[in-house]
């Protein structure tokens, strides 16, 4: 049996931009992506701590060490610059393997940088 499990997340990143007139997605600092084991074009769930919005989109790689967390297209309407969001990725795993899987969790600082 295959099940969908929590793979990784970037916990409490700050939105730095919201670009309504852009093809939809989320642009993320490449350093954050690598630390959280998230790749370009991967589907992610966005959870907005400030307003409770939950939605899905895909990832575009941003400049390394830029701190960029930019919601693009229609997703820009679900956030405000400065909002705190959680970016969650999921994966499909064999049921038995999933029992021992440890998700990767990244905790950026207020500038979306890693310590």
For 25-69, write each residue's pLDDT tens digit: 999 999 999 999 999 999 999 999 999 999 999 999 999 999 999
Task: Note if 58 is an active site residue.
Answer: yes
Instruction: Show the beta-strand stretches assigned E in 1-115.
Output: 2-14, 17-19, 25-29, 43-48, 54-62, 69-72, 84-94, 104-106
pLDDT, residue 70, reads: 98
pTM across the whole model: 0.96
The span from the CA of 40 to the CA of 30, in Å, is 9
Q: Find the catalytic residue in 8, 25, 89, 90.
A: 25
Mean pLDDT for 69-97 is 97
* CB atoms near residue 39 (< 10 Å): 11
- The tens digit of pLDDT for each residue in 5-29 reads 999 999 999 999 999 999 879 999 9
Question: Which overall architecture, per CATH, does domain 2-95 show?
Answer: Beta Barrel (2.40)
Q: Find the catalytic residue in 8, 22, 58, 100.
A: 58
């Amino acid at each position: 049996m295959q099940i969908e499990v929590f793979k990784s997340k970037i916990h409490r990143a700050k939105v730095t931009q919201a670009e309504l007139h852009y093809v939809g997605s989320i642009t993320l600092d490449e350093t954050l992506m690598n630390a959280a084991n998230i790749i370009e074009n991967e589907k992610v769930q966005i959870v907005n701590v400030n307003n409770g919005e939950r939605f899905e989109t895909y990832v575009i790689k941003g400049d390394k060490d830029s701190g960029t967390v930019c919601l693009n297209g229609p997703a820009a309407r679900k956030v405000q610059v400065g909002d705190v969001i959680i970016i969650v990725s999921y994966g499909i795993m064999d049921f038995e393997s999933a029992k021992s899987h440890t998700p990767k969790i990244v905790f950026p600082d207020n500038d979306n940088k890693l310590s």
